[in-house]
Structure formats: C-alpha cells, structure tokens
C-alpha cells in the first residue's frame, strides 16, 4: 500500500499521511481525519475481484479507535495537568516566594493572588503568581518559604 490514487487530483502516500516524518513504517503522527481519508481512498480504489479481507478491515478499524483513544487520553492528561498546576498555585497564597518575574527581574515576597491567562495564539494556559506589583509564571518560582 505504498500509494493510493483517487480520481481527480488527490493522491495519498504513506509518507504524506504520516506527516513527512521520514519513517514510512511509523504512523504515530497520523490523525483521525488523515487516516479516514486514506481508508476511504483505499476502499474506493480496491480491486473488485480481490477486495480487502475482513481481518485487514478490522485491523484498520482498530487503528482508528486507537488513534481516537490516544487523542482523548492526551486531552484528559493535559486537563489534569492544568488543574494540578492551579491547585499548586492556590496553595501558594500567603507564602513567601522567590523567583523571576515576567519582566526578568527578581521577585521576593508574599503571594497575594494568582491568575490564569489563556493565549489566543495557541490556546495554551499559564498560571501566574502575583507578588505585589510583580507577576511571574509558576514555573519561574525558585524558592517557597512558609509564612
């Protein structure tokens, strides 16, 4: 299955579908949509006298489910990580921290609040710790003291 052509201008190859990663035998970067396009193209262009056998079809459907499950697991773990970071930051309120502010200046003081900022560009989230007028990301904290 090195190349499957569809009528028209669309052409799919294993390397193209894998995202040009350089490894033809690894489909780890194939998303569900790409895999479905490849599967549909394969079904449309199969030899009517020698159709795909059921075992191969079941294997391909299983691969679709694995990709979907992996995507869902990745999203769940990302959400869990974000929640854990927020819980950790909220535990810092009232504690003395030392670290590096967003403007690269040193910060030493008591955390008075935390905020969560979402980037519109890549839809990422960052938890910010506020010490007086200075703001720093939680990952830039170097030391945490009690009281």
State pTM to two decimals.
0.52
pLDDT in tens, 32-80: 777 778 778 877 777 777 776 778 778 877 887 888 888 889 989 988 9
Taking CA atoms, 132 is separated from 31, 101, 111, 142, in Å, by 45, 11, 8, 17
Nearest alpha carbon to residue 137 among 116, 121, 112: 116
Give the pLDDT band (50/70/90) at residue 98: very high
């Amino acid at each position: 299955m090195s190349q499957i052509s569809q009528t028209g201008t669309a052409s799919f190859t294993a390397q193209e579908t894998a995202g040009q990663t350089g490894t033809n035998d690894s489909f780890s970067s194939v998303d569900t949509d790409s895999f479905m396009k490849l599967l549909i193209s394969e079904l449309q262009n199969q030899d009517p006298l020698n159709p795909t056998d059921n075992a191969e079809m079941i294997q391909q459907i299983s691969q679709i489910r694995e990709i979907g499950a992996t995507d869902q697991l990745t999203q769940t773990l990302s959400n869990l990580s974000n929640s854990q970071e927020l819980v950790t930051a909220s535990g810092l309120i009232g504690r003395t921290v030392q670290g590096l502010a967003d403007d690269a200046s040193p910060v030493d003081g008591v955390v008075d609040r935390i905020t969560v900022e979402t980037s519109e560009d890549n839809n990422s989230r960052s938890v910010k710790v506020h010490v007086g007028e200075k703001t720093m990301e939680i990952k830039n904290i170097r030391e945490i003291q009690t009281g």
